[in-house]
């Protein structure tokens, strides 16, 4: 099938490459000419496992092309996926839909009769209906559907090729059949498809993200209670997660969630619900947000306390800048926020990350960066573990103890082994875990 994918950010690039890989003819569209040139040469603009190979093979097979021209896109296909960003509005909590709107304004007058415009961007419920109204004027006889994306950064290609479900929000049987045909390999693999109306499809996405964010904030709230009660949140989370009705995923206590999705999605959801008169129903999302941002503050407070009450003149080694492991994305990264806060309070902060240093440097140019873990920790009075990259679990604590000034580590991701670090002479500290269980030297 022929299709365009408009917007080549995370979702768009991965969607375009995967659609080409399953045999479709895909034209990717972006207003950024430099990005289009890189993609056309088979180079991914972001670090994502397996994406480079997929892009290169799609491009060299001739099934994947890129352009900056919406006119070319409109002429190329009758099926158009909108994958542009929907960031938080600069002046409020709601979603900024200017990019979605400008795609519709740009392509609308040029659409061929019968064209189907499919949104994949995360949007406030009611957006598809509003856009359908606009297209009724700009391009009579066209249709709008919503087909939300559930991929995670770091496993985006896998998530797209092997999703756990497909959600198709349509207003006609024709659109439903067309979208089911697009995802033929997934349907053949028995992946469930939920066909529904566009509003429900839009809501499935935001409700799913809100639920996962709530789960993370719930366990982080428990970490705070554990701190007050002298209990261990990691054991609590494992024991809770063993109940299959609860499940262990997204129950990792620590520094909380960041990235380009959860924080802005829960705010946009609450804002939209308020517009609809249903604000009270999701008022708890404000608390979820507050719990989440409080974890960054708690980490900074705990670090300062460990340094004897001040960051001034202290050296801090930071492990991790990305908002999560497996990604080079630092958007709303809790790790980078903590590193920047420590530096702002007078610490000399040196940050290590295996993938995200370029993006981190662009976002926080005042921090010092290195690709070498021992260098990051050289002479440090405190080491902060802020993103749980697997390579940090492979660190030899004894060797690292040799380069720091004081072997003191705060594991804000609860993923290092306290016994191994303690045995190597480190004072190991964590949020939501009493000294009696993390132990180590004091």
**Interface ranges with ligand UGA (CB under 6 A):** 122, 149-153, 209, 212, 216, 250-252, 254, 256-259, 261-262, 323-324
The residue assigned the tokens 């990717």 is 28
Query: From the centroid of its chain, how far is CA 248?
Result: 19
Q: How far apart are CA 258 and CA 299, in angstroms?
A: 15
Q: How far is the CB of 416 from ligand UGA (least distance, A)?
A: 15
String of DSSP letters for 375-437: HHHTT-SEEEE-S--HHHHT--HHHHHTTSSS-EEEETTS-S-HHHHHHTT-EEEETT--HHH
Asked if 261 is an active-site residue, the reply is: yes
**Pairing relationship of beta strands 193-196 and 166-169 according to DSSP bridges:** parallel
Q: How far apart are CA 425 and CA 408, in angstroms?
A: 9
**Closer of 4 and 121 to ligand UGA (Cβ):** 121
The 3-state DSSP class for residue 27 equals strand
Beta bridge partners of 107: none
Report whether 1 contacts 182 (CB < 8 A).
yes
Beta bridge partners of 169: 146, 196
Report whether 199 contacts 54 (CB < 8 A).
no
Task: Tell me the two tokens of residue 25.
Answer: 């003819």
**Closer of 314 and 331 to ligand UGA (Cβ):** 331
**Closer of 151 and 341 to ligand UGA (Cβ):** 151
Task: Tell me the two tokens of residue 122.
Answer: 């995360």
**Closer of 336 and 427 to ligand UGA (Cβ):** 336
Phi, psi of 195 (to 5 degrees): -90, 130
Q: How far is the CB of 151 from ligand UGA (least distance, A)?
A: 5
**Closer of 10 and 311 to ligand UGA (Cβ):** 10
**Closer of 25 and 30 to ligand UGA (Cβ):** 30
Q: Which long-range contacts (CB under 8 A, 24 or more apart) does 139-142 make?
A: 139/108, 139/109, 139/110, 139/111, 139/113, 139/115, 140/113, 141/113, 141/114, 142/108, 142/111, 142/113, 142/114, 142/115, 142/116, 142/117
**Closer of 218 and 421 to ligand UGA (Cβ):** 218
Q: How far apart are CA 24 and CA 17, in angstroms?
A: 10
Of the residues 83, 261, 364, 377, which is catalytic? 261
Q: Give the active site residues.
A: 261
């Amino acid at each position: 099938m022929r299709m365009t994918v408009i917007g080549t950010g995370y979702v768009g690039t991965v969607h375009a490459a995967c659609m080409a890989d399953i045999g479709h003819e895909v034209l990717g569209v972006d207003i950024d000419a430099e990005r289009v040139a890189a993609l056309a040469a088979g180079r991914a603009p972001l670090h994502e496992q397996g994406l480079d190979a997929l892009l290169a093979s799609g491009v060299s097979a001739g099934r994947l092309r890129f352009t900056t021209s919406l006119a070319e896109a409109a002429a190329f296909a009758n099926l158009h996926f909108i994958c542009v960003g929907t960031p938080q509005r600069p002046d409020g909590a709601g979603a900024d839909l200017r990019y979605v709107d400008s795609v519709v304004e740009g392509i609308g007058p040029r659409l061929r009769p019968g064209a189907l415009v499919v949104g994949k961007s995360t949007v406030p419920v009611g957006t598809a209906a509003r856009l359908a109204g606009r297209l009724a004027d700009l391009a009579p006889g066209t249709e709008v559907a919503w087909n939300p994306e559930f991929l995670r950064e770091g496993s985006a290609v896998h998530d797209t090729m092997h999703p756990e479900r497909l959600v198709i929000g349509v207003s006609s049987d024709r659109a439903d059949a067309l979208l089911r045909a697009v995802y033929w390999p997934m349907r053949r693999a028995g992946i469930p498809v939920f066909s529904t109306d566009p509003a429900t499809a839009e809501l499935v996405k935001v409700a799913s993200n809100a639920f996962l964010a709530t789960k993370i904030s719930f366990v982080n709230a428990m970490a705070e209670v554990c701190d007050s009660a002298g209990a261990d949140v990691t054991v609590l989370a494992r024991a809770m997660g063993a109940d299959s009705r609860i499940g262990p995923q997204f129950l990792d206590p620590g520094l909380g969630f960041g990235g380009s999705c959860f924080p802005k999605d829960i705010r946009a959801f609450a804002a939209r619900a308020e517009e609809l008169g249903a604000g009270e129903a999701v008022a708890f999302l404000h608390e979820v947000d507050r719990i989440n941002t409080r974890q960054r503050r708690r980490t900074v407070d705990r670090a300062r306390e460990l340094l004897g009450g001040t960051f001034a003149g202290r050296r801090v080694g930071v492990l991790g800048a990305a908002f999560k492991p497996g990604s080079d994305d630092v958007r709303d990264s809790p790790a980078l926020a903590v590193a920047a806060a420590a530096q702002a309070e007078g610490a000399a902060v040196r940050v290590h990350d295996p993938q995200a240093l370029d993006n981190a440097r662009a976002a926080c140019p005042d921090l010092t960066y290195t690709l070498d873990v021992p260098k990051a920790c050289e002479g440090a009075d405190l080491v902060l573990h802020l993103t749980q990259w697997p390579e940090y679990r492979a660190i030899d604590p004894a060797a690292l103890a040799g380069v720091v000034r004081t072997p003191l580590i705060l594991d804000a991701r609860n993923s290092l082994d306290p016994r191994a670090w303690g045995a190597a002479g480190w004072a190991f500290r964590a949020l939501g875990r009493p000294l009696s269980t993390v132990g180590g030297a004091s």
